[in-house]
Structure 1
């Protein structure tokens, strides 16, 4: 995840998501995405949303490819080259997400689990991770595990 310094910008995918609502982001993540304009940093965004810690939400939007932090250090190499992920790691990540969704999210969990099971790549799982994590955080039972599970998922997918 990028440092919280500097202003975040919407990517092309982020701009499309604001218009299309295809990822079905939580209202909190959607509000944050809408407020990101390339001018405001995390502190300003936090004040506008009435929260002090946006690191997780910004990380979710960034992992889903909806925002970027131009002031973050650049990785060396091709910008589009993501490290290869072993298929067994992808299966473990899918299992973690599906099991927790089924255990804590009721009917939403079944729908989300079907989408997670059909995800064939690291990018698809990362795209679903924002919605999965926010649903877990909003659930009665899963909210206590949500952040730990997200951390585990990121380590699995080499995002830590």
Structure 2
């Protein structure tokens, strides 16, 4: 039996929506958990073009497949989602990006958003904290909430 699982690139696509895949393939990517068989995925997806969507995800590196023998635990995705500190880092990145977009829109502060997205270590994210805080405070509503938001972010970091 073959089990499909998300690669780190696939986990990132779920978290950040790059737009690199279509809606059907994204729906399938969300369903892939490293536990379900191909048959179960096909039934759940309800995608008439299931095989093509699966091939697209494999070809783009969002998922990988591994043979699994009965009684053997399926492979882990080997993703940051397996590591609690990496999960906290991802939560902090998401919080920073979401608040920037909420107070400045999707097209402002893109340089800062890209640097936040690309940060792989807590120290890199910490280095961007001051710039993030100043950006939130540039907005009148953000200025009123900057201390509260900074506190929430620190709790995650």
The answer, yes or no, to whether TM exceeds 0.5 is: no
- TM-score, with normalisation over the residues of structure 2? 0.43
| Structure with higher helix content | 2
| Structure whose CA Rg is larger | 2
- TM-score, with normalisation over the residues of structure 1? 0.42
